Structure 1
């Protein structure tokens, strides 16, 4: 056994023992929060291992038992407190940062200090730009985004005549999305540079893979200890400017389109209605960001794809950083250091919130908007758009820390979907079979080997 393997096994064993002690202490502090699974020292650690592969079953069981309450499940080195129901979700969404920290929760989920760099965690000015300047300039910049969508699809798919070509969806769409996003982020010609785009795609994948691996280690084994880290701790700011700036650009590029494309090939009956809508809107209003607002069927299809394919069982992870803990409106108190999240995927599959919740209904939200308009309930119409957040639709989170990039993401996705249905025919690689998601702990990933066939529209 080499030294690294020995250190890893030793660290994991020490971490398990440390976690057992912490869990025992926390058991006394939060005895009124029920456990889904086991509470004993070794048994709860075993549950932590089970969570890696059986998280969907554990979280769903907890949601069914406590649909309006709080329960906890064992993770490898800590408890995860899971919040269910609109009232308690609002408590989390509205909690001040100095009490329940969004930043600390994101750090635990993505291990950002190690996967993206300490600077991006401690000084996140780029998110303020996404929230303000980028969003305000979407109308002005949309012609460039639209131009890049056309060029990216043509260059990447390379289709001629009536031929069908099969492509692995995840890497193909990541390349297209990276080009479209970076047309706005860095402009021409860099947004088409193959080496730069390959770095974008590799970065998005590596962040998730690295975070998954790091979370398997006990906390005291996670910090890096190498020469590069030492240099970055002491080097002058002007000598390390390129690194944090590059990381900020790359961190905004994530996979957005793959699941929607799998849905389109799984439910082909939605292609023609969305094509007809896009043709009508473009004929009447042209290609603009404002015109996208009229594509309510496309908007609904993408929002439903988000609902069905929520990437995380749990969303809105926060860490309690107030010394006195955090008190929910039902009186439950979580102690300092606790991690809390909301049960997102079970909420999206809750029959009390969505009729036929497990069924993909691509025009579900378009129909709701039509009904609200008929009843002159204009305020509720906005709540059913892709960019809107709610306690029953948590893909972008909700409350003060709802995803600030959702306006750009929605614009990009809708424009890409409209372009796709107008210019291409698509079908699954194997008729009637959708590539299964990859599940790791609480995370769902689109199948990286899943393929779809494309051809130019006939």
Structure 2
């Protein structure tokens, strides 16, 4: 009896796989990593461990075209070349949706809450209100950077100390970010910081478990797998009294009540209406915004420190630029804008070490599909990404692209005779293009990139002015950690720090 059940299940599984594979074969778009039914599924597993070389292979074999790679449960379409990347970035949300793609990848309605995808008003709050307040909030930002580094490094005297970079930078970034989000003392509370750091990890892991379930079972079993409600409950313990006090003050004294803090809680309340104007909904928005802010910035800055200690000749000129700007203008946003070399170093590190080989995650939501200018048609429901690493290593766009050149972009900015003002601005860290995609591109580029750039530049300037740095192993850059299409800086690697006397 057991043998019959086993054979029946095997026949059923084989039939399902065959039907799914046959449906996929109707698509004429070229493939990488698959040539038959079993290769399709083994290719999905190979993508988990060899995503970067598979994407590179696709771009080499099909330059400037669309190709597809097998994932465990679906095809993923990858576009290469600046023309098609621009078309993906330019497509309206109602045709090619970033929100729907992220909802599917992270099962956001279950792991975070449907309110985020149905009413993402916080995007505009970050893009407009936070950006406008950066100069005014910069003293608080720098103050927290100063305290955060002192307290996390715990350096004494003139001794060197090896510091685990990525976890340390997560703490510093979480504190600095939340100084502007929720203010002190909560931004320094270890339990709160643990919550906002862990939230992203929980969503990433649990959403993938939910994605293993049949579609119809996800809304039934997903809530038991998700930790979203538990995270909100923990967040409420920290933030609910503060948020409820702010709401009461506004109700009694008006929106501009005396002593109103200038932080994300206040900015969200300025826009929130109805049910969104409650403590639980504001907590949910703050957790989600932290999810977007902490891990990417921490990974970026960790890569920067690996690059800086692997190329220590850059430390002196970066320090000289930062000290001169601060001496003349103090620790201000204006001084930060003068630090072209620091800006360039960060941008070059981003170019060479982004978060993976693909970006611009999208889903075709137009029932008619999406047709590219070369005639390629992607059907409704297709998941699309853009090949970022090949674009950022294109020798037609970057001279000697395989070589790290920390001042690649500041040189172009300083050469005013050969560069237009538009060309100068296009080389800033916050600028996006089809050949520089760490912050996305065009109208759906990262809304918080202005804040991220300010935070990272201030952190790097503070470090080079106040600390000496050296690699754990001279001349050796720690290898990246690769998880499918996600590339992260080495989680265990350390860098040596010493307080400058």
Q: Which residue of 1 aligns with 2:366?
A: 322
Aligned mates of 1:170, 1:138 — CA distance in 2: 25
Q: Which residue of 1 aligns with 2:449?
A: 406
Task: From the superposition, tell whether residues 419 and 39 of structure 1 become closer, same or farther in structure 2 (CA, over 3 Å).
Answer: same
TM-score, with structure 1 as normaliser: 0.90
Larger Rg: 2
| Aligned 8 A contact 1:116 1:251 in 2 | no
Identify which of 139, 142, 162 aligns with 1:143: 139
Aligned mates of 2:331, 2:47 — CA distance in 1: 46
- Residues matched between the structures, number: 443
| Aligned 8 A contact 2:197 2:291 in 1 | no
Identify which of 290, 306, 313 aligns with 1:250: 290
1:430 equivalent to 2:470? Answer: no
1:156 equivalent to 2:152? Answer: yes
Task: From the superposition, tell whether residues 136 and 230 of structure 1 become closer, same or farther in structure 2 (CA, over 3 Å).
Answer: closer
Q: Which residue of 1 aligns with 2:233?
A: none
Task: From the superposition, tell whether residues 370 and 243 of structure 1 become closer, same or farther in structure 2 (CA, over 3 Å).
Answer: closer
Tell me how far 1:359 sits from its aligned partner.
1.5
Task: From the superposition, tell whether residues 300 and 152 of structure 1 become closer, same or farther in structure 2 (CA, over 3 Å).
Answer: same
1:21 equivalent to 2:19? Answer: yes
CA shift digits 1:71-106 (9 cap, x unpaired): 111111111111111111111111111111111122
Identify which of 343, 348, 360 aligns with 1:299: 343
Task: From the superposition, tell whether residues 47 and 189 of structure 1 become closer, same or farther in structure 2 (CA, over 3 Å).
Answer: same
Tell me how far 1:243 sits from its aligned partner.
5.0
Deviates more, 1:318-327 or 1:192-201: 192-201
CA shift digits 1:251-273 (9 cap, x unpaired): 23323221111111111111111
Deviates more, 1:200-209 or 1:382-391: 200-209
Q: Which residue of 1 aligns with 2:234?
A: none
Q: Which residue of 2 aligns with 1:121?
A: 117
| Aligned 8 A contact 1:12 1:218 in 2 | no
Pairs within 5 Å for 1:350-369: 350-369=394-413
Aligned mates of 2:105, 2:178 — CA distance in 1: 25
| Aligned 8 A contact 2:203 2:226 in 1 | no
For the residue of structure 2 that corresponds to 1:203, the secondary structure is helix
1:308 equivalent to 2:308? Answer: no
Task: From the superposition, tell whether residues 20 and 150 of structure 1 become closer, same or farther in structure 2 (CA, over 3 Å).
Answer: farther
What runs of 5+ residues in structure 1 fail to find an aligned partner?
1-9
Aligned mates of 1:196, 1:347 — CA distance in 2: 39
Tell me how far 1:65 sits from its aligned partner.
1.3
Q: Which residue of 1 aligns with 2:232?
A: none
Identify which of 105, 120, 126 aligns with 1:130: 126
Aligned mates of 1:222, 1:11 — CA distance in 2: 22
1:448 equivalent to 2:491? Answer: yes
Tell me how far 1:21 sits from its aligned partner.
2.8
CA shift digits 1:339-370 (9 cap, x unpaired): 11110012112222212212111111111222
Task: From the superposition, tell whether residues 283 and 48 of structure 1 become closer, same or farther in structure 2 (CA, over 3 Å).
Answer: same
CA shift digits 1:57-78 (9 cap, x unpaired): 1110011112211111111111
1:103 equivalent to 2:143? Answer: no
1:205 equivalent to 2:198? Answer: no
Q: Which residue of 2 aligns with 1:340?
A: 384
1:281 equivalent to 2:325? Answer: yes
What runs of 5+ residues in structure 2 fail to find an aligned partner?
1-7, 230-273
Aligned mates of 1:55, 1:181 — CA distance in 2: 31
